[in-house]
Chains A and B, each alone.
Chain A
Amino acid sequence: MTRLAAEPQRRSERIHIHATSEQRTLRSTLQGPRQQSASARLELCEIGKSYGPVIALDGVNLMVEPGELLTILGPSGSGKTTLLKVIAGFEIPETGAVLLRGDDVTLIPPAGRDVGMVFQNYALFPHMSVRGNVAFPLDMRRRPKPEIDARVRDVLSLVDLAGYEDRLPRQLSGGQQQRVALARAIVFEPLLLLLDEPFGALDRKLRDTMQLEVRRLQKRLAITTIFITHDQEEALVLSDRIAIMNRGRLEQVGQPAEIYNHPRNAFVADFVGESNILPGTVIDDRPGLVEIALDNGLRLEAAGELPRGARVGAMIRPERFVPAGNDPASYNRFRGTVTEIVYVGVSQKYRLRLESGPEILLRLPAGMTVRFPGVNEPFAVELAPQDVHLLHLD
């Protein structure tokens, strides 16, 4: 996890340094007559929408800061696509308001919103060349021809597609099509950029490249961006903040590390990354530390402050377990039998059946010197109290 988090950061810093001079020239050409900053704050207030008896959006509140990349992460059917349609103007919410740079745009049709969008299937116009596609939003805004030509040229070189102006979409690869879609969505300097699961159709390697590229561009242009996905890994890598959506509600909004390490409830813990959630009751509380009697009979010490008798779910990330040391008295110790081993390259996943019955999932780094147990062998792991995250159980 630390590796994952650190790398994009390092990369973005590096890019930021050599981007500043480019950024200035690009901004000045792309900007044209409009001089104010392109990025805008987006506010969603109490957005509600239902389709017959199905509640798609249930009072959604969200504020996205200028220049921020916020990911809406949720399973299919969670309402994230409906929310995106409301932001873009394709759906009118039954309740609530959409504010873009402080203006209420709830009832304004998509064409009047100045929102750039990259569709899941890119939605490139098949009968227009790359140039025609990218120039389209500028044509619609009746910009003068020389300005259109200059902007199209700039944005195409920005997405590394200079020289492809006369190709038709069907003559491009998936990654190139996506770049055209992206170019088309940013060429008119929209107030907001919407990305609707844009990487779904790409193969793994290309997806990783495109993700970083989109992130780099987004930062360089400092454009407020909403990114929709159901892929939690993608969300963790790309986002400034993540909003977890479930059944038409936002379960939690926060920075990736916060979401991962301190999920607010069992849904978030389960949806973002892998987790063990063990229900139990607080039986003792000392300053900064509580003792929990798990329902499976084990005792557990966890960092936190909770009253005695509170029902909690102890959430433990699989990678937080370490093989148990020699001290038999150490507290947070789980003994059991290995039932399944999965090798995933950087680590190995184990399924451990505890003596008291339930199974837990653990993940041990592949390079560890300790002898790994085989299937059906006994194994013991332990855990620091700080690595237990307590969830309220409803």
Chain B
Amino acid sequence: MTSVAIPFTRRTARLRRRDHLRMALLALPALAIFVLFFGLPVLRLLFLSIAGGSLQWYARALKTPLYLDVFVLTFEIAAAVTVAALLIGYPVAYFLATTTRTWRAIGFLFVILPLWTSILVRTYAWMVLLGRNGVINKTLIGAGVIDQPLPLLYNFSGVLVGMVHVLLPYMVLPLYNAMRRVDPSLVQAAQGLGASPVMLLWRIYLPLTMNGIAAGSILVFILSLGFFITPALLGGGKVMMIAPLIQQQVGDLLDWNFAAALSALLLATTVAIYGLTQIWIERRQRGSP
């Protein structure tokens, strides 16, 4: 038996090595495109930020309170967007995961549809809704609820509303995925053992969908950090986030080196956050609760 088995396994090992090689070859074009159009520009940007071996642009970014404020505000908005998207997205995902097939299809249409619409169109639509003479203010004034238009646009809440709307699908989809994986009999078991709806959510459903919560939150948070169009338009220059600031440095002030330093800082924080959460998720999956 062994005399047959050994050459066989050797042969399969050789075949497997050849498979690996072939796979690598197949991946080569994609890899080349990736390096050429993504890796190299990022590297070039990083070099720009330390042009001439100087760290002056980093020093400027980290020492000027104005720029630090932008960083802080960016994180605040990203955090607020993430929390809001989670609070709205969790029930939506739960509905999608537990409803009938027809309702799921209809619900998904509403979740996915925004992804197919241009982000510019969606942002301008919010401007129409939220502006001083926008639909909401006009309706409220017309109904006599208020007599001065509410400041809905060009502030924190305006940016928040627009960004949550755009980023909600990125929260809902991972959550939905996690919820579909929850065995319905676990929910029934918990109910049968005496769990109230609140306890069911707190003790069973939330812990079991924690990976989805983590995945969706990281995705939304990271996308929020580098978000450009929506904060640029809905913030109207009054709510400055990091991405519009970078654009301003490049587009208006032509300060490529400083823009590169800001970009590098953004990239570094993003990668750091991503890495830490990945470690956390892996620990959670491996270790005891």
Give me the interface of A with B, judged by CB distance under 8 Å: 88-90, 109-117, 119-121, 123, 125-129, 136-137, 139-141, 166, 168, 184-185, 188
Q: Are B288 and A90 in contact (CB under 8 A)?
A: no
Identify which of B188, B190, B208 contacts A136 (C-beta below 8 A). B190
A123 and B288 contacting across the interface, CB-CB below 8 Å = no
Q: Main secondary structure on chain A at its contact with chain B?
A: loop
B194 part of interface (Cβ distance < 8 Å): yes
Does B192 contact A88, Cβ atoms closer than 8 Å?
A: yes
Minimum Cβ distance to chain A for residue B170 (Å): 25
A136 to B190, CA, bound (A): 8
Q: Are B195 and A140 in contact (CB under 8 A)?
A: yes
- Are A110 and B289 within 8 A (Cβ)? no
Which residue of the partner chain B has the closest CB to A119? B185
In the complex formed, the residue of A with least CB distance to B288 is A168
CA distance A129 to B193 in the complex (A): 16
A141 and B194 contact, Cβ closer than 8 Å, known pairs A127-B208, A128-B289: yes
Interface members, chain B 16-59 (any A CB < 8 Å):
none
Given contacts A123-B185, A127-B208, contact A117 B289 (CB under 8 A): no
Q: Which of A90, A127, A140 contacts B188 (CB 8 A)?
A: A90
Which residues of chain B are within 8 angstroms of A139 by Cβ–Cβ distance? 203
A-B contact pairs, 14 of them (CB 8 A): A109-B191, A110-B192, A111-B196, A119-B185, A121-B183, A123-B186, A125-B208, A126-B186, A126-B208, A127-B207, A140-B199, A141-B194, A168-B288, A188-B193
- Report yes or no: A140 in contact with B208, Cβ–Cβ below 8 A: no
Q: Which 3 A-B pairs have the closest CB atoms?
A: A140-B194, A123-B189, A137-B193
Residues of B in contact with A (beta carbons under 8 Å apart): 183, 185-186, 188-196, 199, 203-204, 207-208, 288-289
Task: Please give me the residue from chain A that is nearest to B191 by CB atom.
Answer: A110
Among residues of B, the one whose C-beta sits closest to the C-beta of A166 is B288
Are the CB atoms of B207 and A136 closer together than 8 Å?
Answer: no
Cα–Cα distance between A334 and B225 once the two chains are bound (Å): 88
Closest B residue to A181 using CB positions? B189
Contact between chains at B192 and A117 (CB < 8 Å): yes
Q: Which residues of A contact B191 (CB under 8 A)?
A: 89-90, 109-111
Inside 8 A of B194's CB, which chain A residues have their CB? Answer: 111-112, 114, 137, 140-141, 188
A23 to chain B, nearest CB (A): 24
Bound state CA distance, A114 and B194, in angstroms?
7
Residues in B neighbouring A112, C-beta threshold 8 A: 194
B288 surroundings in chain A (CB, below 8 A)? 129, 166, 168
**Which B residue sits closest to A112, measured CB to CB?**
B194
When C-beta atoms are compared, the residue in chain A nearest to B210 turns out to be: A127
Task: Find out whether the CB atom of B190 lies under 8 angstroms from the CB atom of A125.
Answer: yes
Whether A110 pairs with B186 at a CB distance below 8 angstroms is no
Bound-complex Cα distance A15 to B10 (A) = 57
B188 lies within 8 A of A110 (CB)? yes
- When distances are taken between beta carbons in the complex, the residues of chain B under 8 Å from A89 are 191-192
Chain B residue with the shortest CB-CB distance to A85: B188
Q: How far is the CB of A343 from chain B (nearest CB, A)?
A: 31
Are the CB atoms of B207 and A111 closer together than 8 Å? no
Q: Are B189 and A119 in contact (CB under 8 A)?
A: yes
Bound together, the chains give a CA A139 to CA B198 distance in angstroms of 13
Q: List A contacts of B208 (CB < 8 A).
A: 125-127
Report A-chain residues with C-beta under 8 Å of the C-beta of B204.
125
